[in-house]
Structure 1
Amino acid sequence: MRRSRGLTAALVLSLAGAGTGIGLVLMPQASAITAPVAFTADSLPTWQPNGIVWAMAEANGTVFAGGTFSAVRPPAGASGAEEEAVNFVALDAATGKPTACKLAFTVGEGTATVRALTVSNDKKTLYAGGYFGAVNGTPVSSLAAIDIESCTPKAAFHPGFPATVRALAATGDTLYAAGDFNSVEGQTRERFAAVDAGTGALKPFTANADEPGRAVAVTPDGKHVLLGGDFFTVNGTDSHALAVVDAATGKLAKTYDNIPWNSVVKSIATDETGFYTGNEGSGGGVFDGRIGLRLSDFGEKWRDRCLGATQWVLPYEGVLYSSSHAHDCSTELEYPDGRRRHLLAQPTDHEGAAPAPVDGFVRGPRKLGWFPDTNDGLGEGIGPRVMAVSEKDGKKFMWVGGEFTTVNGREQQSLTRFASTGDVGAPTTPVASADSVKPGEVQVRWRTSYDADDSKLTYRIYRNGSGTPIHTMTADSLEFERPQASWNDTTAKAGQSYTYRITATDAAGNTSALSAKASVTVPTSVQAYPNQVRADGAQLYWRYDDTVSPYVADSSDGGNTSGIQVNAPSLRQTPGAVTGSSTAMGFNGTSQKLHSDRRQTVGSSYSVETWFKTDTWRGGKLVGFGNNTTRTSSSHDKHIYMTNTGRLVFGVYNGSTQTISTGLFDTYNDNKWHHVVATQGPSGMALYVDGQLKGTLNVTTSANFAGYWHVGGDNLSGWPSRPTSRFFAGQLDETAVYGKVLTAAQVKNHFDLAKAPSDTVSKVTATEDTYVNQGAPSAANGASTSLAVRGSLAYETYLRFNLPAAPAGQVLKSAMLQVKTTTQSGAGTADTVSVVPVTGTWSGATTSYTSKPALGTTPLGTFAAIPDGSALHSAKLDTAAVSALLGGSHSLALTSTGTDALWLWSKESTAADAAPQLVLTFGPK
C-alpha cells in the first residue's frame, strides 16, 4: 500500500569423510528449483541505469528497458565504462550487457519518460509509449514504433497522443494504448485508444474512461480487450478500475464494482485460461493485491488480498510472478504486517478445490518458494515495477525493473535478472536440538532451513560425528514459514550420550553447513513430568532447554510449532520448575518475548499451561495469542497475564472482554515457581494455579483469527486490571498448549509430577590420560593428542577421573564411558576393547611401557568392534563397581588382545568432543 497516487533434475551426491567433515560430489548443475517455480533466486550480473525503469519487453534474445534515466553502467565490481542511455536501453538477455541498439527518447519541454513497451506478434517491431516528442531526433508524439532489426524509429508511424501513454498491447493489426490522454489525432479518445499497428492510423475502437488508464491486454482469442486503471466509468457506465470491452468497437462486455474506490489496477496479464490484475491502493480498506479471473465469463476465480501495492503480474508456466512491496498477507493466512517482500510467486490456480470464500472472496493460491528481494529504492519507494521473461541459447531469464537500488542485499539499481538454471545458493544452516524423556528414544528436531528458490529440502542427520547419515528426510519450508521438523531416534540406548548434527540440501545439491551439535543423554527411566505432558496431548511444548538463539524447540509428540526468541531472552536459567536437569528462560520485562513460528487457528476447546517465577510489581503477559510476530498484535486473545499486584488473570474476547482473576490476596509475585493452567471449552472457562481451581466462567467462545502464540509479552490494551508492562519480568518454564480441555485431575497431576524425583546426569571429563607403546618402551605420551589400544605389539590407554559423590537421596543408575575415534585412516578396530580398573600408580608425564601400572582382571565394560571414521562411542560400565568408586579419584584402562589398533582423541586434542568422559546417571533410591 502506498500513500499517494503519483506517477527437477536428479540429485546425486556422495557423503564421505570423518569427524565433522562432510564431502559432497555433485553431478552437473541441476535446475535447482522446486516446481512449478521456473527461475532461481540468484541474481545475475546486469548493467544498470541511473534512474527508474518503468517498462520492459523482449524479442529474439534482447530485452528492452524504458524509463526515466540518462545512462547505464556495469554491475558493481565489473569492468566497463558508463554509457549514455536516454530513457532506453537494449540488453543481451544472456549477458546482461547493452547491445549496439541505441535509442534516445527526448522531449522539448518537461522530462521525457518511457512508460510502456511491447513487441509485435512477429517480433519485428517494438512499440514504445510514454511522454516524449522524438526518438533519435525523429518527431513522434508519446507513441513510437521501432524497427527491431535496424534499431530505427519508423518515421511514418506517428499518431498524435497529446499526453502520457502508460500501457500498450499489440495484436496482428492493432495497437491498443492506455494513459492520461483525452484525444488522439484530434478525436475524442479518453484514456484508451486503438491505432493501426502498421500505419498508426486511429481506429474506431472507443472505450472512454473518466480517469487515467494504466493497463491494457488482449484476450488470447483476440476478441476482447481488458482495461485497467483509476477510472470509475467506461463509456458512461459504472465500472471501477477494471472493465472488459469488445476488441473492435470498445463496447462494454463486463463491468466490475467490487474493487474498492481507493484502489486501482496497475497491471493486467493473460494466459491460456485466465487473466490477472495487479492492484494498488491508498488509505484504509484498500485492495493492494492480485485477482485471478476466468476468460470464459470474465468472473473472479480468486483474490489475493496481501497489502503492498502490486505493480506487475506475469503468468508463466502455471505460476503468477508479481512485483510489489507486500508487507501484510494476513488475509491469506501467510505472514502478518512486517517487513516488505518485493517479488512473489504463486500458482495461477488453486490445486484441487478452491477454499471457501472469506469475506466474500476466495483466497489466492498459496505462495511458492521463490523469494529474491529488492529494496524500495528511489522515487515513490515502490521497489520493482515491471517484469519480463526472455530466452537465449536455450536458457530462460526473468528480468525485473523498477526503482530499487539493491537486489538480494547487494548494490544493483533498477534492473536485474534471474535464470532458469545455475542455482548456487545453499540453504541456511539448520538449527538443531535434541531431547529424550524416556529410555530408547531421542527426539531430534530442528527449525527448517530457508532457501530462496527451493521450498522442499532434504535433511541428513548425523549421529556422534559419523560421516554417514543415520536418517534422511525431506521437509517443506518458506521464507515466512519455517516449521519445526523432527525425527525420533529409536536406536538410542538408555544412559548413553549422543550428539546430532544436520545438513540441508536443495534440488541442485547445494548443501548447508553442518548445524551446531545437539547433545542429549538418554535417561534410564521415564521422566515423569514431560512424558505426561506429551501423553496428555500437548500440541506445543516449549521446555526452554535450548542452547542456541533464536530457536525454541517444540518437545510435543511430532512437534512442529517451534518458537522464535525476540530480543534475546536469557537461556538455561536454573533451577527450572521441574526437578532434574530442565532449565528455564528469563525475560527482562521490557522487550523480550517469544512467538510461535507457525501461523495457526485455535479451536473452541484448548488449554494453556506454563510455570513462572517472578518478583515483579509491573505485571506482564505470561502467555497469549496474537495476530503478529515481532510487532505488537492488533488482534489479541486467550491471555494469561499478571496484574501489578501479582494476581493472575485469564481472559478471552467474544465481543467484550471476559476474564477470571485469582482472589485479592492470591498473589504470585513471591519469586517462587508457580504453575498456571487456563482452559476453555463446552463447559466454559477455568483457571488453575498450583493444581487448584481458582475460578470458572460460563463463556464458551473467544475471538476467532489466525495468529501466533506469544510468551513473555504482547498487547494487553483494553484488558481489565491492565498491568504497567505488557512484558513479563521473570522466568518461564514448561509452556504447553493443548487442543482440548485438561481435566482438573490432569492439571493436579502435572503440578505434582513436577516435584517428583527424577534422574540427573553428570558428565565427568578425564583429568589426565596417556598411553604406552611396547614398540617404544621408554616413551611417555601424556602430552599426545591421541591415545591407542592394541593387544600386540601392545598399546594400553589410561584415563583418570575425579568421580562425584551421589546427590543426596539418589544412587547411581548407570555409567557409560564415552570416547571418540580420531580422523586418521584405520582409527577403528575389529577387536573387542576392555575397560578395566587400574590398580597401580601412573602419571601422564612419566609413565611408559616399562613402568606401566598394574591392572585389575575383571572388566567393567567393553567396546565391541568400532568402525573407522571419527565418531563418538560408548561402553556401558558395571554400575555396582562404579558406585563403589564414587567420591574419589580413580583410573580406568583400555586394553585389547588383538592386533588391530584403536586410535582415540585424548583430552589434549582440540577436536570437538575429544576428551574421554564418563556419563553418570543418578536417580531416586
Structure 2
Amino acid sequence: MNESTGRRSRGRGRVRAAAAALGLLAGALSAAAAGGSPATALTAPVSLTADNLSTWQTNGIVWSMAASDDGVVYTGGTFSTVRPPGAPAGSSEQPAVNFAAFDAATGAPTGCSLSFTLSSGTATVRALTLSPDGKTLYAGGQFGSVNGVGVSNIVAIDTATCTPRTNFKIAVSATVRALAVTGDTVYLGGDFNSVAGQTRNKFAAVTTGAALKPWTANTDEVGRAVEVTPDGQHVVIGGDFFTVNGTASHALAVVNATTGALDKSYPGFIPNTSTVQDLTTDATKFYTANEGTGGGVFDGRIAVDLTTFQQVWRDTCLGATQAVLVHKGVLYSGSHAHDCASMGEFPDQPRKHLLAQSVDDPKLLPWFPDTNDGIGEPVGPRVMAQTDSGGHHYLWVGGEFTTVNSSPQQGLTRFADGPDTGAPWVPNVSVSTVAPNKVDVNWQTSFDTDDGELIYRVYRDGASTPVHTTTGYSVFWDRPQLRWTDTDVAPGETHTYRISASDGINTSAKSPAVTAIVASKAESYPARVLSDGATLYWRYDEGTSTFAADTGAGLDNGFLRNAPSYRQTPAAVAGPSTAIGFNGTTQYAYSNRSHAQATKFSVETWIKTTTIRGGKIIGFGSKTMEVSGQYDKHVYMLNNGRLTFGTHDGGGRTVSTSTAYNDGAWHHVVATQGSGGMALYVDGQLRVSNALYTTNENYTGYWRVGGDNLATWPNRPTSDFFAGQIDETAVYPTALTAAQVSAHYALRTGG
C-alpha cells in the first residue's frame, strides 16, 4: 500500500459548512465555467472536488464499503432497495437486500446482486473488505443467509460470479463489525465471544480457508475497527474496550499479526468516554476516527507513527468521527463536527459532515462538501471507500444522510478529482464615501467548497474589464473583508461597482451593482469615530446581503443573520448612511474575527425602539451561529426600557440607568470599562458608573449586535434579542472619555 491510494477496502466503519448551516447557499451561486485544468481550482494538497456526482441511492443506511481495483464499489448496510439519482423515496426502486454493487465511474448498479437475510430480526452488513487479489469479497455483519445459502455472520463472495463461496464457512456468535485481510488471514472484530465454537472475545483471525487461527487479542468490549499495518507485522485494533488480553488499553491497541500479543497499549490515550470507530493507514502513519458520549469527550482524529506507535498529531474537533481515508497526502473524514474552536478552527455551530486535513497537520483544509444528519442515530456519513476508474479517482461516501450539498440524495454519494464545476459564492459588496475624493469598495470574501484562495475582480460603471484584481483566502467560518480604494474619482461623481469571485476555472456572477456619490469633504461623525481609534465600525449601509462592512482600518466585518431589515431611514446620524432593523427573535450580527479578552474597551451604538420585551443590544460572546455559552461585556435593555451594562468577574457586575429609552427616538449608547471601572453613557451624558468594576471574563469570543444569551443576568428581559433599529456600532480598545462621548453625540447632525 502507498500513501497516494490509502486503503481501498473498508471494514465496518472503515470508513466518514457548509452551505446549509450558514443558510446562505440557496440562490447564492450563479456560475459560468471557464477553460483550464481541474486541478488548478483546488487548494493543494486537496485533489478531489467538492462537487458530488450523480449516484444511485439506497432507502436505508450504508454501513460498509469496499472498492476494487477494477472500478466496482461494493456497499452493505441496512436497506432493501436502491433507486436512481434524483428519484424520490418509493419511486423507481429495485430490490437490494442489504447489499449492492456499483460502477465507481457511473454511480449505477452492476450486475452483482446479493440478498443478506436473517430468520429473526433485522439483517445488516457492517463490514466489507476485498482480498489483495480482488477475487474474494468478505462480508461481516448480522445475517444468517446470503442468496439462500446458510452462513453465520460472515461470508466470502467470489467476485467473478457474485456468489457465496461454499468452501468458506465458519460460525461467529454475534455481529461482525470490522474486517481486514492479507494473503492468508482474515481478521475480524465485533460483538462476538466465540468463533468456530472457541472463545474469541471481540477479535479473531481465520485463514482464508475458514480455519480458526490461534491468534488471540481478547477485549472486554466491542471491537469496531481492525487494520493491518503496511509491513504485515502488526494489527491495529479499535473499539469500545478497556483491556486487551487482560492489559489496560482503552479503545486502541497494536497487536502482533501472528499471535495477537500486545505490542503497544494505550491506557489513558483516549478518554474513557470515547471510542475508536474506524482506522486507516498510509505508508508512515495510522489514523483513528473517534466518537465520544457525555462530557470530556474526544471526537476528533489522531495520527500515529507506524514506527514508534507514538502520536504525531491529534485534532480536537467536537462531533463524532465515523470514517477516515487517505488519498494523496490528505486525510478525508466523515463526522458531524460542530465545534473546532479548540484547534483554532470554526466555533460551535450547525454540523459539518465531511472534512479534510493534511496527513502531517490537523489544520482543516478548504474542502467542505456536506450532507445532513439523515436517519438512524443520526450522524450523517458512516463509511468511505476509494478507487480509480476511467482515468479518474473516486471517493465514495455512505451513511445515514438524505441530502448532499443541500440537494436530496440518500445513503450514497461520490466525489472525483475533476472536473471542478462549482463556482464561489457571489461576493457581498458595500461602498463607503466617508473620506473626501475617494470611494472605498469593501467586500466580504466569498466561499468555495473546495478552494480557499480566490480571485476577485472589481468592475466599475458597467465596464467589462476589471479596474482591480486581487486574491484572498477564506473558509466558511472566516470570510475576511477586503477593500480597494478608488482614487480616480472627483467630488460629486456617481460610480457603480460590481465584483466577481473565481477559483481559477469557475467564476461567480457579478455582485449586484452598488452606487457611491463621491464626497467633497469628510463626514464629521464617522471621521471622529475613526480618529478616536475604533477597531470595529459597522454603519449598516448594505442592501440585502449577509455583510456588515467595517468602515475602519480593522476590516472586522460582520455577518448579518436571518435577514434583518436593511437600509432603515431616517438613520441616527445625519448624512447618506442608513440603519438596520432587528426583529427581536432571530436576527443579529456577529464579528468575523474572534478576539481575546478585552481588558479595557468601549462599545458604542445608536438604538431606536418601542419594545417592552427588552433584549441584548451589543455584547461579547463565545459563539457565532448559536447562543453563547460565555457572554458578558454587554449592554441590554430591560422590559421597562432601562439599560444595563454588565461584565463578569466571578459574578455578574452591572450598572443600570434609572431612565427608560424605549420611547421610539434615537438614543446614543456608550459603555466603557478600564482602570477607572465601568461607565454607561446615554445621549452624551454619563448616566451611571462604578469605579470598583475594572475586570471582565477571560475567554476568546466575538462581538455580537442584536442578540445573544442573557441567562442568569439580573432582571433578564423577556427576550434575549433586541427588537428595534440599530446604527453606527463601534468597538474601541480603550475606555472613551466623557469628553469623547459627548463630542460623538454632538456630531449626530453632521456638526
Fold agreement, TM-score > 0.5:
yes
Write the deviation string for residues 215-253 of structure 1: whole angstroms up to 9, x where unpaired: 111223333222211212221222222222222222222
Q: How many residues align?
A: 718
Task: Report how far residue 25 of structure 1 moved.
Answer: 5.4
How far apart, in 2, do the equivalents of 1:297 and 1:745 lie?
A: 65
What is aligned with 1:283?
A: 294
Task: Report how far residue 702 of structure 1 moved.
Answer: 2.1
Q: 2:576 aligns with which of 581, 584, 596?
A: 581
Moved more, 380-389 or 270-279: 270-279
What is aligned with 1:347?
A: 358
Write the deviation string for residues 53-84 of structure 1: whole angstroms up to 9, x where unpaired: 11111112211111223333322269x96544
Q: How does 1:699-848 map to 2 (within 5 A)?
A: 699-757=693-751
Q: Secondary structure at the match of 1:345?
A: strand
- Check whether the contact 2:601–2:731 (CA below 8 A) recurs between aligned residues: yes
What is aligned with 1:205?
A: 215
Task: Report how far residue 333 of structure 1 moved.
Answer: 4.2
Write the deviation string for residues 476-506 of structure 1: whole angstroms up to 9, x where unpaired: 2223333322222232322211110011112
Question: Which amino acid is the alignment partner of residue 44 of structure 1?
Answer: L
Q: 2:668 aligns with which of 664, 671, 675?
A: 675
- Check whether the contact 1:486–1:558 (CA below 8 A) recurs between aligned residues: no
Q: 1:122 to 1:23 in 2, by over 3 A?
A: closer
What is aligned with 2:247?
A: 237
How far apart, in 2, do the equivalents of 1:642 and 1:108 lie?
A: 65
Q: How does 1:141-152 map to 2 (within 5 A)?
A: 141-152=152-163
Q: Does 1:321 align with 2:327?
A: no
Task: Report how far residue 191 of structure 1 moved.
Answer: 0.1
Moved more, 447-456 or 255-264: 255-264
- Check whether the contact 1:564–1:597 (CA below 8 A) recurs between aligned residues: no
Moved more, 160-169 or 308-317: 308-317
Q: Does 1:516 align with 2:525?
A: no
What is aligned with 1:535?
A: 531
How far apart, in 2, do the equivalents of 1:36 and 1:272 lie?
A: 17
- Check whether the contact 2:429–2:498 (CA below 8 A) recurs between aligned residues: yes
- Check whether the contact 1:31–1:423 (CA below 8 A) recurs between aligned residues: no
Across the aligned residues of Structure 1 and Structure 2, the Cα RMSD in angstroms comes to 2.7
What is aligned with 2:375?
A: 378
Write the deviation string for residues 264-283 of structure 1: whole angstroms up to 9, x where unpaired: 22111122332222222333
What is aligned with 2:389?
A: 392
Q: 1:54 to 1:590 in 2, by over 3 A?
A: closer
How far apart, in 2, do the equivalents of 1:584 and 1:32 lie?
A: 39
Q: Secondary structure at the match of 1:250?
A: coil
Task: Report how far residue 203 of structure 1 moved.
Answer: 2.1
Q: 1:119 to 1:605 in 2, by over 3 A?
A: farther
Q: 1:39 aligns with which of 48, 68, 74?
A: 48
How far apart, in 1, do the equivalents of 2:230 and 2:533 lie?
A: 54
How far apart, in 2, do the equivalents of 1:580 and 1:113 lie?
A: 68
What is aligned with 2:400?
A: 403
Q: Does 1:688 align with 2:681?
A: yes
Q: 1:754 to 1:383 in 2, by over 3 A?
A: same
Q: 1:557 aligns with which of 553, 559, 562?
A: 553
Structure with larger Rg: 1
Q: Secondary structure at the match of 1:754?
A: helix
Moved more, 175-184 or 683-692: 683-692
Q: Secondary structure at the match of 1:749?
A: helix
Q: Secondary structure at the match of 2:107?
A: coil
Q: Secondary structure at the match of 1:398?
A: strand
Q: Secondary structure at the match of 2:225?
A: strand
Q: 1:750 to 1:283 in 2, by over 3 A?
A: same
- Check whether the contact 1:181–1:189 (CA below 8 A) recurs between aligned residues: yes
- Check whether the contact 1:679–1:685 (CA below 8 A) recurs between aligned residues: yes
What is aligned with 1:194?
A: 205
Task: Report how far residue 37 of structure 1 moved.
Answer: 1.8
The TM-score normalised by the length of structure 1 is 0.73
Q: Which has the higher contact order (CA 8 A, sep 6+)?
A: 2
How far apart, in 2, do the equivalents of 1:433 and 1:300 lie?
A: 47
Which structure 1 residue ranges, 5 or more long, are not aligned?
6-20, 351-364, 758-925
How far apart, in 1, do the equivalents of 2:568 and 2:94 lie?
A: 61
Q: How does 1:613-652 map to 2 (within 5 A)?
A: 613-652=608-647
Question: Which amino acid is the alignment partner of residue 716 of structure 2?
Answer: R
Q: 2:484 aligns with which of 472, 483, 487?
A: 487
How far apart, in 2, do the equivalents of 1:296 and 1:25 lie?
A: 46
Write the deviation string for residues 833-873 of structure 1: whole angstroms up to 9, x where unpaired: xxxxxxxxxxxxxxxxxxxxxxxxxxxxxxxxxxxxxxxxx
What is aligned with 1:117?
A: 128
Which structure 2 residue ranges, 5 or more long, are not aligned?
1-12, 14-29
What is aligned with 1:445?
A: 442
Write the deviation string for residues 488-538 of structure 1: whole angstroms up to 9, x where unpaired: 22323222111100111123x211111111111121011122123223332
- Check whether the contact 2:138–2:156 (CA below 8 A) recurs between aligned residues: yes
Moved more, 262-271 or 640-649: 640-649
- Check whether the contact 2:437–2:521 (CA below 8 A) recurs between aligned residues: no
Task: Report how far residue 451 of structure 1 moved.
Answer: 1.9
- Check whether the contact 1:63–1:90 (CA below 8 A) recurs between aligned residues: yes
Task: Report how far residue 213 of structure 1 moved.
Answer: 0.6
How far apart, in 2, do the equivalents of 1:348 and 1:24 lie?
A: 31
- Check whether the contact 2:547–2:557 (CA below 8 A) recurs between aligned residues: no
Q: Does 1:655 align with 2:661?
A: no
Moved more, 456-465 or 224-233: 224-233
Moved more, 639-648 or 155-164: 639-648
What is aligned with 1:882?
A: none
Question: Which amino acid is the alignment partner of residue 425 of structure 1?
Answer: G
How far apart, in 2, do the equivalents of 1:648 and 1:77 lie?
A: 55
How far apart, in 2, do the equivalents of 1:113 and 1:164 lie?
A: 9
How far apart, in 1, do the equivalents of 2:623 and 2:431 lie?
A: 28
- Check whether the contact 1:485–1:560 (CA below 8 A) recurs between aligned residues: no
What is aligned with 1:98?
A: 109
How far apart, in 2, do the equivalents of 1:83 and 1:593 lie?
A: 48
Question: Which amino acid is the alignment partner of residue 204 of structure 1?
Answer: P
Write the deviation string for residues 717-757 of structure 1: whole angstroms up to 9, x where unpaired: 22223334323333321101123444444434333333443
Q: 2:457 aligns with which of 452, 456, 460?
A: 460
How far apart, in 2, do the equivalents of 1:319 and 1:101 lie?
A: 32
Write the deviation string for residues 529-581 of structure 1: whole angstroms up to 9, x where unpaired: 21232233322211022222433222122514223133x43322333222222
What is aligned with 2:17?
A: none
How far apart, in 2, do the equivalents of 1:722 and 1:68 lie?
A: 49
The TM-score normalised by the length of structure 2 is 0.89
How far apart, in 2, do the equivalents of 1:99 and 1:616 lie?
A: 63
Matched-pair identity in %:
58
Question: Which amino acid is the alignment partner of residue 99 of structure 1?
Answer: T
Moved more, 101-110 or 233-242: 101-110
Task: Report how far residue 472 of structure 1 moved.
Answer: 0.9
Write the deviation string for residues 122-178 of structure 1: whole angstroms up to 9, x where unpaired: 333322211233444444332223333443433322232121110012233322110
- Check whether the contact 1:629–1:708 (CA below 8 A) recurs between aligned residues: yes
- Check whether the contact 1:310–1:324 (CA below 8 A) recurs between aligned residues: yes
Q: Secondary structure at the match of 1:438?
A: coil
How far apart, in 2, do the equivalents of 1:96 and 1:172 lie?
A: 29
Q: 1:165 to 1:675 in 2, by over 3 A?
A: same
- Check whether the contact 2:536–2:554 (CA below 8 A) recurs between aligned residues: no
Question: Which amino acid is the alignment partner of residue 491 of structure 2?
Answer: A
How far apart, in 2, do the equivalents of 1:184 and 1:24 lie?
A: 57
How far apart, in 2, do the equivalents of 1:699 and 1:201 lie?
A: 75
Q: 1:255 aligns with which of 233, 257, 266?
A: 266
What is aligned with 1:569?
A: 564
- Check whether the contact 1:34–1:456 (CA below 8 A) recurs between aligned residues: yes
Q: Does 1:546 align with 2:542?
A: yes
How far apart, in 1, do the equivalents of 2:664 and 2:124 lie?
A: 68
Q: Secondary structure at the match of 2:731?
A: strand
What is aligned with 1:611?
A: 606
